[in-house]
Chains A and B, each alone.
Chain A
């Protein structure tokens, strides 16, 4: 059974550029969340999507956006990249949300470097 898959695994971008990261959840999971992990810190919540609707947003600027598709896969977009956006971006999937929730399972992450 395939786990959470993320692409690409590594990415180098220049300041000011835009980037799109992709995530496919575990089959049957309807909730996808995105996290940013900078070196030495724990993952920080960016977005949660459930059934294609945004259910939560962390303290990130509007340069960050996301969406979820009918097959429950998701994309995270970051515009006008800053050096400080360099981080490991993690996608997590879970079955549902609230009462239907299960543990979140993470992908291997996308390592974004902004130069």
Chain B
């Protein structure tokens, strides 16, 4: 049972433009959401997180938006840079539980110079 879903497996975007990645979840107990970036042959690298008490969190070029009623979150990267080319994973957890992370399948992002 896939509790975290990432559709549109791949995304190509021109350098300097905005990349938008979407993520949906089904478990209403999730209260903490994270985005990770992964290069080949490396482990996932933490990018940004958001607690369910917020609807937006910003860190430099990365902004995550959370819509709890729709059980939907998105990651905006602006401006996109060639180094952003990677697989992006959305993850969710119940922070007051054992904080196991449930991951989506990932989105491949290619930034075209």
Residues of chain A whose beta carbon lies under 8 Å from any beta carbon of chain B = 4, 6, 31, 33, 35, 40-45, 48, 50, 55-56, 58, 90, 92, 94, 97-99, 101, 103-109
Q: Flag whether B83 is at the interface (Cβ < 8 A).
A: no
For the A-B complex, the count of residue pairs with Cβ-Cβ distances under 8 Å equals 69
Pick from A4, A90, A103: contact of B34, CB below 8 A: A103
Task: List 8 other contacts, CB 8 Å, given A41-B106, A104-B46, A106-B43.
Answer: A42-B105, A44-B103, A56-B100, A99-B95, A101-B95, A103-B49, A108-B41, A108-B42
Q: Is the CB of A58 within 8 A of B100?
A: yes
Q: Is the CB of A43 within 8 A of B41?
A: no
Using an 8 Å CB-CB cutoff, how does the interface string of B8-45 with A read, 1 for contact, 0 for none?
Answer: 00000000000000000000000000101000011111
Within 8 A of A (CB), among B55-102: 89, 91, 95-102
Within the complex, the shortest CB–CB distance from A90 to chain B, in Å, comes to: 6
Assembly CA distance A52 to B111 (angstroms): 43
Q: Flag whether B4 is at the interface (Cβ < 8 A).
A: yes
Within the complex, the shortest CB–CB distance from B43 to chain A, in Å, comes to: 4
Number of residues of chain B lying within 8 A (CB) of chain A:
25
Assembly CA distance A103 to B39 (angstroms): 19
Q: In the complex where A103-B46, A108-B41, A108-B43 touch, is A40 in contact with B96 (Cβ < 8 A)?
A: no
* Complex: chain B residue closest to A45, CB-CB: B100
Q: Is the CB of B103 within 8 A of A90?
A: no
Chain B residues with Cβ below 8 Å from A41 are: 105-106
Q: Is the CB of A45 within 8 A of B44?
A: no
Within the complex, the shortest CB–CB distance from A86 to chain B, in Å, comes to: 16
